[in-house]
Amino acid sequence: MRRNAGLFVAISLLSGFGSSAMSLVAGIWILDLTGSTSLAALAGLCVYAPVLAGPWLGGLLDRTPRRPLVVAVNLMLAAALLALLAVRGPGQTWLVFAVSCAYGVSYVLIDAGETALLPSALAPTELGDVNGWRSSAQEGMKLVAPLAGAGLYAWRGGHAVAVLSAAMPILVATLYALLRLHQTPTDRPTERGSGPRTGFVVLFEARATGLPVLLAAVSIAMSGFTTAGIYAVVVTELRLPTTFLGVLASAQGAGSVLGGLIVGRLIAARGPVAVGVIGTALFAVGCLARCLPWWPTTVLGAVVAGVGLPWTLVAAVTAVQTHTPSALLGRVSATANTAMFGPLVAAIPLGSAAVHIGARPPLVTAAAICLTAAVAIGASRPGPNQP
């Protein structure tokens, strides 16, 4: 089991490095090719939009062997990235958008596939710890990979970044092949049906899975809603240079790495719902701290939010892995990703509009919504043996 745990952490490190490096460079590359900031921003939308198709894409994981599918998706992603070598000028900008969309689809399949594979490779008591370590690995790469990708782009151009990023899924596919699975999830159809609605029904009919996913959805949506507000607090309220946003990003990333290292023990001791409640409340406290007119509290708020946000995500993922029937784990995992990340599509533009009222109202609103959700769900959460 320890061998498998190490492989999963290595997978998270490699995939996190490749995706984080390319996600930044894609926007820079489009900006250089077209001179359009709006087109550059659309690269990010191409990555996140496919999560809305999670309930449909997740069904593939329940109808086909999961490990071969995840390996194949990684290899196809590598091929798609190498197609960027054909980009020579503005006329090939569509290729960058196409590869961004391919990244988005692969995220849905790989994230859900990995969530479904973990219970087949690890003991139930290890899931929380390994999910936390994976979260720390991914957050750590977000601190390193964008700088590495941008530096390589400035030195050798987009083609070099494409080759480096393509190498990552090839290595990841190799590590997936080395996993030792102690059980093979059944692929038989169940009496629950096979449509996309099945994922939602299974996910939310049990409070033990529905409540952590709901908490994660609220916290993640509010993280997108407050993005513009944080920018405005730094620039207009604290009157600091925009480069200070990098300090906040690093502070939040450091909190996420630290939080990921300890969340597994908390889940084992308190359960996923309790950890989701605590994480949501911590994120709310982080939002309020960033409203104060003193830059050290803004940094501290970023660290606290960085701890809380991954706790809600890891708690939700662990709950899904623990309480979902194996035959349905693929589509339920993908549906959970849609429920948790889909609201970002609306939350980010709403937050950008709300910031016109003022820099702090979006942060206060987000804190109030998160605290309300934490209190309401904390008061009604199921007991340790209650579904």
Q: What is the pLDDT of residues 196-217, one digit of tens each?
A: 677 788 888 888 889 999 999 9
Q: What is the CA radius of gyration of the chain?
A: 20
Instruction: Using the predicted structure, report yes or no on whether residue 316 has a pLDDT greater than 90.
Output: yes
Q: What is the pLDDT of residue 1?
A: 57
Lookup result for tokens 């745990």: 5
How do residues 268-279 score in pLDDT, each as one tens digit?
889 999 999 999
**What mean pLDDT is predicted for residues 173-181?**
91
Amino acid at 246: G
How do residues 7-19 score in pLDDT, each as one tens digit?
999 999 999 888 8
* Ranges assigned E (strand) in 57-101: none
Instruction: Using the predicted structure, report yes or no on whether residue 58 has a pLDDT greater than 70.
Output: yes
Can you read off the two tokens belonging to residue 3? 């061998």
Nearest to 151 by CA among 25, 9, 285, 331: 25
- Is the model more confident about 328 or about 277? 277
Is-contact 289 363, C-beta < 8 A?
no
- Residue 89: exposed, middle, or buried by beta-carbon count in 10 A (0-12, 13-18, 19+)? exposed
Pick the most confident of 2-11, 277-286, 371-380. 277-286
CB neighbours of 143 closer than 8 A, spacing ≥ 6?
250, 253, 254, 257
- Residue 49: exposed, middle, or buried by beta-carbon count in 10 A (0-12, 13-18, 19+)? middle
- The C-alpha atoms of residue 210 and residue 208 are separated, in whole angstroms, by 6
CB neighbours of 205 closer than 8 A, spacing ≥ 6?
none
Is-contact 284 185, C-beta < 8 A?
no
Is-contact 224 355, C-beta < 8 A?
no
- Is the model more confident about 285 or about 248? 285
How do residues 65-103 score in pLDDT, each as one tens digit?
888 999 999 999 999 999 999 999 999 999 999 998 998
Instruction: Flag the least confident range among 2-6, 220-224, 327-331.
Output: 327-331
Q: What is the pLDDT of residue 148?
A: 84
* % of the chain with per-residue pLDDT over 90: 34
